[in-house]
């Protein structure tokens, strides 16, 4: 009889060894909205052994068009997202460990929230905490995957300190609009698509499949559709103040 993970273990280069690697991995998901909820759902279904779910907010009715993890009961109770996410994900996969942390990721608690992680997912919705995460990951040597979504468009980046440019290299201006999901609305399928792309890069990192990783920044738009990968070019800019690249 096929096991729980048979269909993904059949994927080339995965097998029971890959599955064991996932089971032994810890991923911190920062932000449990449209990106984080869907990405965490994919990683929990894939059998990532420990997920730390971080978000200070509560579920509201205007979240439901794009935040796949939550339902009307969560919204009517204004349930804390971290706890509601852990409850739903525990119903999807009871074999993994879920930590719900209803805190805002910031400089003061960032190091503690990243403790023991193999990987972090940036599913935040503002530039400032993303740059806090960037600096901490450079300092700790922790790989992470950034995703952002605005309206019907978003971008994904794999960041490996010492091996790739950092977020500041890509976005030297602190007010970069691509890092803020705010006033232009969000297309539900765009958030789910970016979360899928992010989860896919996360699985490659956890499985040690570096040869398959996204090399540049994937910019994906659904309405009208276009996908393209931007390669990093330092040009004649000064070296990065954060990572020195």
Nearest distance, CB of residue 245 and Zn ion, angstroms: 5
Instruction: By CB under 5 A, tell whether 240 contacts Zn ion.
Output: yes
Could you say which residues in the range 126-185 bind Zn ion, by CB under 5 A? Answer: 166, 168-169
The strands making up 97-101's β-sheet, listed across from edge to edge, are: 97-101, 50-54, 26-30, 119-122, 144-150, 153-159, 217-222, 225-230
How do beta strands 153-159 and 217-222 pair? antiparallel
Nearest distance, CB of residue 235 and Zn ion, angstroms: 14
Nearest distance, CB of residue 164 and Zn ion, angstroms: 9
Q: Give whichever of 112 and 238 is closer to Zn ion, judged by the CB atom.
A: 238
Q: Which helix (H) or strand (E) holds 15?
A: helix 15-23
SS3 category, 124: coil
Please identify, among the stretches 3-11, 39-47, 53-61, 234-242, the one whose residues bind Zn ion according to the rule CB under 5 A.
Answer: 234-242
CB contact at 8 A, 28 and 54: yes
Nearest distance, CB of residue 165 and Zn ion, angstroms: 5
For Zn ion, which residue has the nearest CB?
Answer: 240
Nearest distance, CB of residue 133 and Zn ion, angstroms: 13
CB contact at 8 A, 88 and 67: no
Q: Give whichever of 70 and 131 is closer to Zn ion, judged by the CB atom.
A: 131
Instruction: Report how far residue 126's alpha carbon sits from residue 109's, in angstroms, rounded to the nearest whole number.
Output: 17
Q: How many CB atoms lie within 10 A of CB 239?
A: 10
Q: Which tokens is 230 given?
A: 């931007």
Nearest distance, CB of residue 11 and Zn ion, angstroms: 33
Orientation angle between helical segments 188-207 and 34-46, nearest 10 degrees: 40
Q: Give whichever of 14 and 245 is closer to Zn ion, judged by the CB atom.
A: 245
Could you say which residues in the range 199-218 bind Zn ion, by CB under 5 A? Answer: none
Could you say which residues in the range 35-74 bind Zn ion, by CB under 5 A? Answer: none
Q: Give whichever of 5 and 170 is closer to Zn ion, judged by the CB atom.
A: 170
What DSSP string runs through 51-94?
Answer: EEEE---B--GGGTTT-TT--HHHHHTT-BHHHHHHHHHHHH-T
Q: Give whichever of 142 and 242 is closer to Zn ion, judged by the CB atom.
A: 242
Please identify, among the stretches 39-47, 114-122, 199-207, 235-243, the one whose residues bind Zn ion according to the rule CB under 5 A.
Answer: 235-243
Nearest distance, CB of residue 87 and Zn ion, angstroms: 38
Site for Zn ion, rule CB under 5 A: 166, 168-169, 240, 242-243, 245
């Amino acid at each position: 009889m096929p096991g729980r993970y048979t269909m993904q273990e059949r994927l080339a280069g995965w097998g029971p060894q890959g599955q064991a690697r996932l089971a032994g991995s810890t991923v911190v998901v920062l932000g449990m909205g449209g990106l984080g909820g869907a990405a965490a759902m994919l990683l929990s279904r894939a059998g990532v052994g420990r997920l730390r779910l971080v978000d200070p907010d509560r579920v509201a009715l205007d979240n439901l068009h794009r935040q796949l993890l939550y339902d009307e009961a969560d919204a009517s109770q204004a349930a804390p997202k971290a706890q509601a996410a852990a409850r739903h994900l525990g119903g999807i996969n009871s074999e993994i460990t879920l930590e719900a942390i209803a805190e805002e990721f910031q400089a003061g608690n960032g190091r503690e929230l990243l403790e023991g992680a193999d990987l972090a997912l940036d599913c935040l919705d503002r530039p400032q905490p993303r740059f806090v995460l960037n600096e901490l990951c450079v300092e700790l040597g922790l790989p992470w995957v950034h995703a952002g979504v605005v309206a019907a468009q978003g971008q994904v980046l794999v960041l490996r300190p010492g091996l790739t440019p950092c977020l500041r290299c890509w976005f030297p201006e602190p007010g970069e609009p691509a890092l803020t999901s705010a006033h232009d609305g969000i297309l539900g399928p765009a958030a789910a698509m970016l979360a899928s792309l992010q989860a896919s890069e996360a699985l490659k990192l956890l499985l040690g499949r570096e040869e398959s990783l996204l090399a540049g920044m994937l910019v994906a738009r659904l309405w009208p559709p276009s996908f393209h990968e931007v390669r990093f070019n330092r040009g004649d800019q000064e070296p990065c103040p954060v990572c020195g690249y």
